[in-house]
């Protein structure tokens, strides 16, 4: 039996208006615009300041943009998957809230927790529901309100992250384009290098967890950096090589936006020049599960049917992976 292929057929995104610049951070912690730019490539990030608006708000805005662009009836959606490490609350899943907000009353919904690889893992999951023939329309969203778990007294992490959301619609492909291949990995042996210790069943909320600031993201930058450079470059090279592609065949590398130096190493390993790399880290920082679909949203207008894209990510867990996507439609509007 021939396998159905899944294709991304629409993109939506949402970015909060408020900007947190390197100059703003210089007033909060002992850092400098020069250090942040040269070590990470970031100039500013977006922050959702309204304390009453959480990750589901941004995810809903992104989904509504997608529905409006495609003039799609939300009752046609079969499944909503939200990738996030900043869910509105532990349960219910943020995806359930989003599905209700957008009127996807016929959809089932769940969250995927895979940190910066979240969108790729959610995409891979959604693809299987299309390929198997179970579903016709799956909405995959990457959304994180990182500002709620970032410690703005810790200069080693607070300069890195921003808030945002973006999403992709998966439908059966009617030609040779679509999600061609994907690779996923996880290795929990170094989980403590990148985590949020407090609030779960290991360290339930208590005055002590608050005092020890365990409800903030914790990252050991150097070990994560080393693992990310190797993991992301290896997996991107693996997907290219096992599909017989060369750097020349790739229209765009779409990397997770954690650090310009990690992206540079990945591009070099793949033989892809930087003009073929989607980069928006300068403007948004690391939005965790939202980085890859936010890139797709920014470049959507330039994308053409048949363009080969390699999506690649590395993040907490550790988790990492890549996908080869042959783009399924010509972009419109402006990037």
Chain contacts with ligand UT7 (rule: CB under 6 A): 31, 35-36, 39-40, 116, 155-156, 159, 221-222, 224-225, 228, 258-259, 262, 286, 314-315
Q: Which of 135, 177, 256, 259 is catalytic?
A: 256
Q: Which of 116, 158, 195, 295 is catalytic?
A: 116
Half-sphere exposure of 1 (CA within 13 A, CB side): 6
CB proximity list for 74: less than 8 A, separation 6 or greater: 67, 102, 103, 104, 105
256 in active site: yes
Helix (H) or strand (E) holding 110: strand 108-112
The pair of structure tokens assigned to 33 is: 């615009």
In the complex with ligand UT7, the residue whose CB is nearer, 48 or 224, is 224
286 in active site: yes
Q: How far is the CB of 118 from ligand UT7 (least distance, A)?
A: 10
Angle between helices 221-242 and 260-270 (to 10 degrees): 30
CB proximity list for 259: less than 8 A, separation 6 or greater: 39, 40, 41, 225, 228, 281, 286
CB proximity list for 211: less than 8 A, separation 6 or greater: none
Q: How far is the CB of 32 from ligand UT7 (least distance, A)?
A: 6
Q: How far is the CB of 65 from ligand UT7 (least distance, A)?
A: 25
In the complex with ligand UT7, the residue whose CB is nearer, 40 or 173, is 40
- Cα(272)–Cα(294) distance, rounded to whole angstroms? 21
Q: How far is the CB of 77 from ligand UT7 (least distance, A)?
A: 29
In the complex with ligand UT7, the residue whose CB is nearer, 104 or 289, is 289
Q: How far is the CB of 320 from ligand UT7 (least distance, A)?
A: 9
In the complex with ligand UT7, the residue whose CB is nearer, 100 or 197, is 197
Maximum distance among all Cα pairs of the chain, rounded to whole angstroms: 62
In the complex with ligand UT7, the residue whose CB is nearer, 87 or 162, is 162
Q: Which of 177, 259, 286, 308 is catalytic?
A: 286
Active site residues: 116, 256, 286
């Amino acid at each position: 039996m021939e396998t159905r292929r899944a294709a991304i057929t629409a993109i939506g995104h949402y970015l909060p208006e408020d900007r947190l610049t390197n100059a703003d951070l210089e007033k909060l912690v002992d850092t400098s615009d020069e250090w942040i730019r040269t070590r990470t490539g970031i100039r500013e990030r977006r922050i959702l300041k309204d304390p009453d608006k959480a990750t589901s708000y941004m995810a809903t805005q992104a989904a509504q943009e997608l529905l409006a662009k495609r003039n799609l009836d939300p009752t046609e959606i079969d499944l909503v998957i939200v990738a996030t490490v900043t869910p509105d609350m532990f349960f219910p899943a943020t995806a359930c809230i989003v599905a209700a907000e957008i009127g996807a009353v016929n959809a089932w919904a769940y969250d995927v927790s895979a940190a910066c690889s979240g969108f790729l893992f959610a995409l891979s999951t959604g693809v299987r529901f299309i390929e198997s023939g179970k579903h016709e329309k799956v909405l995959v969203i990457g959304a994180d309100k990182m500002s709620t778990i970032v410690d703005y007294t810790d200069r080693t992490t607070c300069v890195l992250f921003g808030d945002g959301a973006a999403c992709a619609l998966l439908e059966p492909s009617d030609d040779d384009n679509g999600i061609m291949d994907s690779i996923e990995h996880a290795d929990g042996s170094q989980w403590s290098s990148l985590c949020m210790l407090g609030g779960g069943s290991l360290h339930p909320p208590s005055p002590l967890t608050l005092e020890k600031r365990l409800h903030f993201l914790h990252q050991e930058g150097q070990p994560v950096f080393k693992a990310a450079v190797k993991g992301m470059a290896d997996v991107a090279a693996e997907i290219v090589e096992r599909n017989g592609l060369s750097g020349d065949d790739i229209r765009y590398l779409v990397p997770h936006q954690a650090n310009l130096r990690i992206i540079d190493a990945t591009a070099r390993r793949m033989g892809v020049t930087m003009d073929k790399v989607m980069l928006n880290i300068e403007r948004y920082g690391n939005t965790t599960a939202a980085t890859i679909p936010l890139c797709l949203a920014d470049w959507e207008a330039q994308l053409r049917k048949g363009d080969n894209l390699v999506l690649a990510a590395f993040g907490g867990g550790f988790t990492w992976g890549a996908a080869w996507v042959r783009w399924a439609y010509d972009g419109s509007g402006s990037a």
